[in-house]
Structure 1
Amino acid sequence: MIEWSPTTIKAFQTTLLTWYDTAGRDLPWRRDQEPYHVWVSEIMLQQTQVQTVIPYYERFMAWFPTVTALAEAPEERLLKAWEGLGYYSRVRNMQRCARQLLADYEGQWPQTAAALTELIGIGPYTAGAIASIAFNEPVPAVDGNAYRVFSRLLEIDADITKPGTRQLFERVISRIMPHDRPGDFNQAIMDLGASYMTARQPDTEHSPVKVFNQAYLDGKELDYPVRTKKPRPQPIDYVAVVTKMGPDWLMTQRGSQGMLANLWTVPLIKLADLDLPTETVPSAELVTAVIAYFKREYQLTLTAEPLAVRPVTHTFTHQKWTIQLLSGQVAPADLAFFAGKSVNEEALSQLPMPKVQTKIWDRYHSAEAK
C-alpha cells in the first residue's frame, strides 16, 4: 500500500474538490444538507443506479416529505412507493427508523456517525454519509466507490469482502479527508467512482486525479479492488399461474417474513412443490399438476393452459428464479383457503408488486397480444 506525504494529500484534496466544484453531479438530494434527504437518497442508492433512483426519490419526497409522514405511512403505500427498487427490507427499516426518531429522539437526528449507527437500518456507510454531508463531521463514507477509488489510488490489496477491511479503509481515508469539507469530499469520491474510475471500463486517462492513481500508473488498475468471488445464486424453478376469476385477477400476498414480504404476485408455485412424475416437465403434466395443486391447497377448481412464451428469469442476491407461465381461470368461489384476493383492473395498479411480477405481466401481455 502506498503512503502519501502531507504534501501529496493536500494536492489531492485540492485537485479533487476543485474538480467536484465544477463537475459534481447536480442531484436532487444535493440541493440542501437536510439529513432526511441525505438518508433517503443513500438508502435508495444501495444496489441501485443514480438515474434509476432520481424519479423514485422525487416521488418518495412528494408522498413522505418529512420523517413524521414516513413514520405514519400505511405499509401498502410505503411498499408502492418502493415498488421496483427491490430489497424491500430497506424501506421497512426506514419506517422503523423514522418511528424510532420520533419516539426516542423527539424527531431530531443524531449528529455524529457513531450516534447515527444506533438508529435502525443505518450502518457505517450511511452514518458516515449523513454525518459528513449534513453535520460536517470529518468521517469517511466507505462504499463500493470508496473501495474502488482508494484501492486503486494507493494499491491497497486487502480483500474488500473481509470484515476487517472496512476499518482499514476508514483509517486510510480519514488521514486523507479534509476537515473543512468532508461531505463534499465523500460526494466527490462517489462521483469519481461513478465516472472516471468505474469497475470495468475506467477512463483514467482523462481523470482529474490521474497522477495520483498508482494502480493506473503501474498498469494494473483492473486488479483493484481485490475481492473474493461471490457464490452463484441458487437456481429455483417456479410456475406462475396468471389466473382470472370472472373479470378479476387472482392475486396472492406473500407472507410477512422472507423474500418479497407482503408484496403481491399472481400465484407462484415452486416446481419442487408439485407432484410431478419426472424432472422433465412436459406441458400437459405441468398443467395437470398445477390444477391438482389449486384443488389441494386452495380448494379452487382451475382450468389452465401453457403460454407460448419464454420463461421469465429473475436474479436476486442468493437466488435465480426461472418461471414458466400458465394462463388460468377459476369459477367464482370462496377464497378462504387462498392467501390473497380477486382484484379488478383498477385496484390492480394500487397493489405493491415486486419487479419479478412486472416481468410476469410483461411476458403474459406479450403472449396475449400474439
Structure 2
Amino acid sequence: MTTPWSPTDFSAKVIEYYHAHGRKHLPWQGTQDPYKIWLSEIMLQQTQVTTVIPYFERFIESFPTVTDLAQATDDQVMQHWSGLGYYSRARNLHKAAQIIETEFSGVFPQDPETIETLPGIGRSTAGAIASFAFGQPTAILDGNVKRVLARSYAIEGWPGNGKVLKALWQRAETNTPQQETAAYNQAMMDLGAIVCTRSKPDCPDCPLSKHCLAYNSNSIEQYPGKKPKKARPSKSVYWLINIRQEKVLLHKRPPSGIWGGLWALPEVQQKEMSPDQIQQLDPFVHKFSHYDLQVQPLLLSSNADKALVEKNSHPSIMEPAQADWFSLNQLNEIGLPTPVSKLLVKLLEDS
C-alpha cells in the first residue's frame, strides 16, 4: 500500500523540481517588487499565463509603480483591463493601490495579515506576495496547488466546500517549508499548471508520483472533486446602438456587478421601440462563468423619433450610471466589455 508523502520529503521534492524545471523567466519573475508580484497574482486569477503576459506588460508600462496606479483614473485602469474579464479584480486593484498610497505612504505592507485586508486580496494571494516579495514562509492555495494536494493526499470533495477547503489549507500549511518558500510556492503552481493538469496529467514525469495516493490507486480523475452541477441560468437583454454624427452613445455601468465601471451600450426594452425606428442585428450569446447573456442588438435608425433619441441619451435609463457620446475612433481609448467592442468594430467594418 502506498504511504503518503511526509511534509519534509514532499517539500524537498517540490523544491528540487523548481531548480530543475520551474518557470523562472516570466515578466513578473526575477523581481521582489511587491507591486509587480501583486499585479501578476491578481491577473492570473482565473486566467492563463499566456493571456496575462501582454496585459501585464502593457499595464506596467502605463502604471510602473503603485503610486502611478493610485493616481490613474477609473477609465484608464478599466481600459487597460478590458478583455481580461472579472472586472471586479481591476476595481479592487485600483482601490487597494489608493489605500497603499494614502494609508501606507505608497509602501506595500509586508505583513500577510495586513496585506489580506486590502481589497481583492485573499489568503492565498497574500501568502504569495509575502513569500515572493518578502521571503516569508507563507502558504498558498490557488487552483493549481489545490489540485496537486488533493491528488497527492487523496483529499476528497469539491474544494469549494468549507470542510474540504479547510483540509487543503491544513495540508498546505503543514507542507510549506521555512526555507526556500518562494521556490516551493512557485514550483507548486508550476506543477499544477504544467504536470498535474486537470485533464491528461503527466503522472509518469511528476516528481510526486511515487507517493501520490490518487496516482497509485488509479483514481486521478476523482481528485479534486467536481463542483455540484446546477442548471445554467441565462438572461436576455436588448442593447441599443445609437450613432449620431460619427459618435456612439455609451453608458458607464455602476461600479458593482457585471462589467462594473466599463462603458457599455444602454440596455432597453424592445417595446419602447417602433419597428420602423430600429434594425435588429444578429443576436449572439456571451458566456460568463456562471450564466449566459443572450444579446439582441438594436440599431437605432437615423430618422428615429427625436424624443426616443433624447430618452435613451439620458443617464436615468441605467442609474446611477453616467452617459456620454464617444467618437467612433475613440473607442480603443476607453474601457469597453469585449462583446461591446467586438459588436461596434463589426458594425463599423460592415458600414
With normalisation by structure 2, the TM-score equals 0.88
Aligned to 1:61, the other structure's residue is in SS state helix
> Aligned ranges for residues 43-192 of structure 1 at < 5 Å?
43-192=42-191
Partner of 1:326: 298
2:320 is aligned to none
Question: 1:338 is aligned with what amino acid?
Answer: H
Q: Gaps spanning 5+ residues in structure 1: where?
A: 276-288, 293-301
- Per the TM alignment, residue 363 of structure 1 is displaced from its structure 2 partner at its CA by 5.2
1:306 pairs, out of 265, 269, 280, with 280
Q: In structure 1, which of residues 316, 325, 330 is the aligned counterpart of residue 288 of structure 2? A: 316
The CA RMSD over aligned residues, in Å, is 2.4
Q: Is the 8 A contact 1:312 1:363 kept in 2?
A: no
SS at match of 2:31: coil
Q: Which has the higher relative contact order, 1 or 2, with Cα contacts under 8 A spaced 6 or more apart?
A: 2
8 Å Cα contact 2:250-2:265 kept in structure 1: yes
Q: Give 1:64 deviation, angstroms.
A: 0.9
**Amino acid of the residue matched to residue 47 of structure 1?**
Q
- Aligned to 1:98, the other structure's residue is in SS state helix
Deviations 1:109-148 (A, max 9, x none): 2223222112222110111111111122212111111111
Question: How far did residue 330 of structure 1 move?
Answer: 3.7
Partner Cα separation in structure 2 for residue 84 and residue 107 of structure 1? 28
The aligned amino acid for 1:358 is: S
Measure the CA separation in 1 of the matches of 2:38 and 2:270: 44
Any conservation in 2 of the 1:128–1:140 contact (CA below 8 Å)?
Answer: yes
Distance 1:218 1:182 in 2: 30
Q: Within 2, Cα distance between the matches of 1:355 and 1:212?
A: 45
- Does structure 1 residue 10 correspond to structure 2 residue 8? yes
Matched-pair contact (CA < 8 Å) for 2:150–2:223: yes
User: What amino acid is aligned across from residue 305 of structure 1 in structure 2?
Assistant: Q
**Matched-pair contact (CA < 8 Å) for 1:233–1:317:** no
Contact 2:69 2:97 in 1 (8 A): yes
Confirm or deny that 1:338 pairs with 2:314.
Answer: yes
- Give the % identical residues: 31
The alignment of Structure 1 onto Structure 2 pairs a total of residues equal to 338
How many angstroms does 1:3 deviate by? 6.9
How far does residue 158 in structure 1 lie from its aligned partner after superposition?
4.1
Letter in 1 for 2:247: D
Deviation at 1:176, TM superposition (A): 1.7
- Tell me whether 355-364 or 107-116 shows the greater mean CA deviation: 355-364
Which structure 1 residue ranges, 4+ long, deviate > 6 Å from structure 2? none
Q: CA deviation at 1:221?
A: 0.3
Distance (whole Å) between structure 2 residues aligned to residue 92 and residue 230 of structure 1:
30
Distance 2:249 2:274 in 1: 15
**Helix, strand or coil for the counterpart of 1:222?**
helix
Cα deviations by residue, 1:173-225 (Å, 9 ceiling, x for unpaired): 22222211111111111111111111122121222322132201111001001
2:232/2:291 contact within 8 Å kept: yes
Match of 1:27 in 2: 26
Letter matched to residue 222 of structure 2: D
Instruction: Identify which range, 157-166 or 142-151, moves more after superposition.
Output: 157-166
Task: Letter of the 2:13 partner, please give it.
Answer: T
TM-score (norm: length of structure 1): 0.83
Q: Which runs of 5+ in 2 are unaligned?
A: 316-322
Provide, for residues 36-73 of structure 1, a one-character-per-residue CA deviation record: whole Å limited to 9, x for no partner.
11110011111111110001111111111111111110
Kept in 1, the 8 Å contact 2:116–2:126? The answer is yes
Structure 1 residue 266: deviation in Å?
2.7
Equivalent position SS for 1:29: coil
SS of aligned partner of 2:295: strand
Aligned counterparts of 1:238 and 1:67: Cα–Cα separation in 2: 38
